[in-house]
Chains A and B, each alone.
Chain A
Amino acid sequence: EVELVESGGGLVQPGESLRLSCAVSGFHFGSFWMTWVRQAPGKGLEWVANIKQDGGQTYYVDSVKGRFTISRDNANNLLYLQMHSLRVEDTAIYYCARQTTVTLWGQGTLVTVSS
C-alpha cells in the first residue's frame, strides 16, 4: 500500500527552526519528484517546494526562499523540509506529496508558529 507519513510538526516561536520529515512506502521513492504543500488554518492550499529524483533540482515559493530547504534521502525513502526563521504566517498543515503533479498526499503535520 502506498503511504506518505509526515512528522516533525509542533509549536515553535517566531524565529525558530523545525525540520519536517515524510516517510514513504509502497512505491519506488527515488523515481519521483516530491512536493511539499501547506494549508494555513481555514485557508486554501499553497505549493511550497519541489525536489527532483536525485535532489539535483529544487524549486520554492518566493515566501520561503532562503528560509526553507527541501531535501531527500533516497536510501531510506525520506523527504525533508528544513525550516528556519519561522514566521507566524508559516503556521499551517504541511503535506508531502508525490510528483510535481501532486498525485498522492500524506495526512499532513501541523506547524504552529506563535509567541
Chain B
Amino acid sequence: AQKVTQAQTEISVVEKEDVTLDCVYETRDTTYYLFWYKQPPSGELVFLIRRNSFDEQNEISGRYSWNFQKSTSSFNFTITASQVVDSAVYFCALRSGGSYIPTFGRGTSLIVHP
C-alpha cells in the first residue's frame, strides 16, 4: 500500500517570506516516483517536478527547491521569497514502481498575502 501525507492543510504567509510544504510518503517498493503539482484557483493541475527513488539529489528551479530525504521518507518543497502568484493548492503524489496509479496527498493550500 502507498500513502502520502501532507500534514499542513493551509499555510498563510506574507509576500517575500520563505515557505516549506511538507510531504511524507509510505511505500514498500524500492522503485517509486514522487511528484509535486500546483493547482491555482483556475483549477488546472500544473506539473512541477518528478523525482525517482534512486535520485536523492536536491533540486532547485528558480525560487522553488525540493529536498528529498529517503531516510525520513520525505519530499519537501520550499518556495523562496514567496509571491502572491504562488497562492494555490499544492499536491504531493507518489507512484510506486509496480503501479501506474498515483496516490495524492490531501493538498496544502498556500495563501500568500501582499
The reply to whether chain A is a binding partner of chain B is: no
